[in-house]
Amino acid sequence: MMEEGYYAVNFLSLSGQLLLQKEIWIDGKVKVLNIDVPKVAAGSYFLVLTNKKTSKKMTEKIIIQ
């Protein structure tokens, strides 16, 4: 479960190119997080969520087919 608060959302290519950057609010009770990502070619990408208050980061590898 994620900590409630504002998060910076960064969607990156494997080479580190920033493809999307925005800020969202995450409720502490959230079980599923839906984030609209930009239209990109099939491949692997990184989604990085950073808590704005604590600077704690969570990184997930995303595969788009």
CA 49 – CA 35 distance, rounded (Å): 11
CA 31 – CA 2 distance, rounded (Å): 9
Question: pTM for the full model?
Answer: 0.86
CB-CB contact of 60 with 43 (8 Å): no
Question: What does CATH list as the number for 5-64?
Answer: 2.60.40.1220
Residues, the chain: 65
Structural domain boundaries in the chain: 5-64
Q: What is the pLDDT along the chain (65 residues), one digit of tens a residue?
A: 788 999 999 999 999 999 999 999 999 888 888 888 889 999 999 999 999 999 999 999 999 99
Backbone angle region of 32, left / alpha / beta, with phi > 0 → left and psi within -120 to 50 → alpha: beta
pLDDT, residue 48, reads 97
CB-CB contact of 35 with 26 (8 Å): no
pLDDT, residue 32, reads 85
pLDDT, residue 19, reads 95
